[in-house]
């Protein structure tokens, strides 16, 4: 067991830190949350800077440890997160890299890396949430096109995306996992309507996407027809790999700030609250160690993230909610003031036990795939 980094890794960290110190002050002002074109330009611009400096493909080609260092350092330096590039870099991109043809990789991957194109995700549907495989958006073959009709939900960045990674049903007579195909849909195609959805935090983070006889070329299908479920699982396992590195770093910083605020406003003198903060320190230290453990495991197994991601997400999503509940305890009445720090974060933390597989689904995954308990209800 070794927690020290190699000389090469230390050097990578030092170079990255130096580069971040140089470029972060040159970034334009952050756009407001409702300014979608502004957010798109800002996030793509950041990706372009990473690309030009040789960090553009860190999510794909770097070793898990290098990726860990990258995410840790960028978060600590206060660099922008992937933002609008999330689906392109962490979902659709890796899927195309793993399952696409040479031609498809050539068409779609460089624009993502260079910060030219934005992707969004069309997986969930109003009637297909946790039971994603029951999705009903239909695609019929018509010559060299699929004609797609249906609706998608929880699609982030739909307003400003160039492409949508879309799951459609191509064989309704097959068992539900076997009749699904994975398509790259151009978002400027005729027949697409985007309706923004506001979250309980007040921001328009995602949208509903309605598809009315949208034509998608057959050549935009990645993987075989009706093999989309397997193709999708490749994508989802990427999401549960090193996805939370930056967030754990951020949570540890927030925890430190909370302690400082508690000392300032006197709440620190309450031993119950103080010990709760101590417990959260233990919790996030352990989550950081578990991240390092999982990354080392991925390193040893050739970069493939394991089901350990579900274990991590279960604990982390809960810990994050607890962190902001304790923040509210520190703030007292100010916890009801949206202008105060942490109040909006408390609201958005509520999605963590739901998005990307609810805690209940994650517990099924852990129990069935790791512990070997029987499938059932």
Partner 1 sequence: MRFQLTDDQRALQAVVRDVIGRSSGAGPSWRVAQFPAPLKAAPLLDRGFWRALGDLGVFSLRLAEADGGAGLGLPEAVLVFEEVGAALVPGPLIATHLAAGVVPGAAGGETVVAAADGRLVEWLDEADVVLPGAEGAVALRSVDPLTPLHRVPAPARVEPVAVLLTAAEQLGTAGRVCGLAVQHARTREQFGQPIGAFQAVKHLCAQLLVRVEVARAAVYAAAVTGDPVDIAAARLLADEAAVRGARDCLQVHGGMGFTWESEVHLHLKRAWVRAQRGGGNTESEELLAADLVGGAV
**37: contact with partner 1 by CB under 8 A:** no
d(CA 316, CA 313): 5
Least distance from C-beta 264 to partner 1, angstroms? 10
Residue (36 or 288) nearer to partner 1, CB: 288
Of 37, 78, 110, 278, the one binding partner 1 (CB under 8 A) is: 278
d(CA 188, CA 203): 24
Burial 302-315 (b: 16+ CB within 10 A, else e): eeebbebbbbbbbb
Stretch that binds partner 1, among 105-113, 242-250, 275-283, 337-345 (CB under 8 A): 275-283
d(CA 325, CA 342): 10
Least distance from C-beta 291 to partner 1, angstroms? 8
Give residues 237-266 in contact with partner 1 (rule: CB under 8 A): 255-256, 258-260, 263
Nearest alpha carbon to residue 96 among 180, 163, 158, 176: 163
Residue (210 or 293) nearer to partner 1, CB: 293
Residue (117 or 283) nearer to partner 1, CB: 283
Give Cα 326 to chain centroid, integer Å.
Answer: 25
Least distance from C-beta 367 to partner 1, angstroms? 4
Burial 76-90 (b: 16+ CB within 10 A, else e): eeebbebbbbbbbbb
Active-site choice (72, 117, 239, 283):
239
Indicate the DSSP class of residue 202.
S
d(CA 274, CA 332): 14
Question: Quick one: tokens of 293?
Answer: 């453990």
Least distance from C-beta 203 to partner 1, angstroms? 30
Nearest alpha carbon to residue 244 among 355, 130, 329: 355
Residue (207 or 258) nearer to partner 1, CB: 258
**194: contact with partner 1 by CB under 8 A:** no
Residue (69 or 148) nearer to partner 1, CB: 69
Least distance from C-beta 290 to partner 1, angstroms? 4
Q: Note whether 191 and 146 are within 8 A (CB).
A: no
Residue (230 or 274) nearer to partner 1, CB: 274
**14: contact with partner 1 by CB under 8 A:** no
Binding mask 344-373 for partner 1 (x = CB under 8 A): ----------------x-xxx-xxx-xxxx
Question: Quick one: tokens of 376?
Answer: 């059932």
Give residues 56-115 in contact with partner 1 (rule: CB under 8 A): 65, 68
Binding mask 280-319 for partner 1 (x = CB under 8 A): -xxx-xxx-xx-xx-xxx-xx-------x--x--xx----
Stretch that binds partner 1, among 80-88, 219-227, 268-276, 339-347 (CB under 8 A): 268-276
Task: Give the 3-state DSSP-derived string for 26-43, with helices as H, strands as E and coil as C.
Answer: HCCCCCCCCCHHHHHHHH
**190: contact with partner 1 by CB under 8 A:** no
Least distance from C-beta 2 to partner 1, angstroms? 5
Q: Note whether 316 and 322 are within 8 A (CB).
A: no
Q: Note whether 259 and 141 are within 8 A (CB).
A: no
Active site residue 239: yes
- How many chain residues touch partner 1 (CB under 8 A)? 55
* Residue the block writes with tokens 């539900």: 176
Q: Note whether 354 and 200 are within 8 A (CB).
A: no
Measured between alpha carbons, how far is residue 99 from residues 104, 105, 111, 240 in Å? 9, 9, 18, 18
| Residues with active-site annotation | 239
User: Which residues make up the interface to partner 1 (CB under 8 A)?
Assistant: 1-6, 9, 65, 68, 255-256, 258-260, 263, 268, 274-275, 277-279, 281-283, 285-287, 289-290, 292-293, 295-297, 299-300, 308, 311, 314-315, 360, 362-364, 366-368, 370-377
């Amino acid at each position: 067991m070794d927690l020290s980094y190699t000389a090469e890794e230390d050097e990578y960290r030092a170079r990255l830190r130096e580069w971040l110190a140089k470029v972060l002050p040159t970034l334009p002002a952050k756009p407001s949350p409702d300014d979608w074109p502004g957010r798109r330009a800002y996030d793509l611009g950041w990706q372009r800077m990473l690309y030009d400096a040789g960090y553009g493909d860190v999510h794909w080609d770097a070793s898990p440890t290098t990726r860990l260092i990258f995410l840790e350092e960028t978060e600590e330096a206060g660099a922008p997160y992937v933002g609008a590039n999330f689906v392109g870099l962490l979902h659709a991109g890796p899927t195309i890299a793993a399952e696409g043809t040479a031609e498809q990789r050539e068409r779609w991957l460089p624009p993502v890396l260079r910060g030219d194109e934005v992707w969004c995700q069309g997986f969930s549907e109003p009637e297909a949430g946790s039971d994603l495989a029951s999705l009903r958006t239909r695609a019929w073959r018509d010559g060299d096109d699929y004609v797609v009709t249906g609706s998608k939900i929880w699609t982030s960045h739909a307003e400003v995306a160039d492409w949508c990674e879309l799951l459609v049903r191509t064989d309704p007579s097959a068992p539900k996992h076997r009749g699904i195909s994975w398509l790259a849909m151009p978002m400027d195609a005729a027949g697409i309507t985007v309706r923004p959805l506001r979250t309980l935090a007040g921001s328009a983070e995602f949208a509903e996407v309605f598809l009315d006889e949208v034509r998608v070329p057959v050549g935009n299908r990645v993987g075989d027809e009706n093999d989309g479920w397997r193709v999708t699982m490749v994508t989802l396992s990427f999401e549960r790999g090193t996805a939370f590195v930056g967030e754990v770093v951020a949570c540890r910083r927030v925890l430190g700030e909370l302690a400082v605020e508690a000392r300032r406003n006197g709440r620190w003198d309450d031993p119950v609250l103080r010990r709760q903060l101590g417990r959260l320190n233990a919790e996030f230290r352990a989550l950081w160690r578990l991240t390092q453990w999982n990354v080392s495991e991925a390193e040893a197994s050739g970069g493939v993230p394991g089901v350990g991601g579900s274990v991590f997400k279960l604990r982390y999503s809960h810990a994050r909610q607890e962190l902001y509940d304790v923040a509210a305890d520190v703030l007292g009445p100010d916890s009801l003031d949206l202008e105060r720090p942490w109040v909006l974060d408390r609201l958005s933390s509520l999605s963590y036990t739901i998005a990307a597989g609810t805690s209940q689904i994650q517990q099924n995954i852990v129990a069935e795939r790791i512990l070997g308990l029987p499938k059932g209800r």
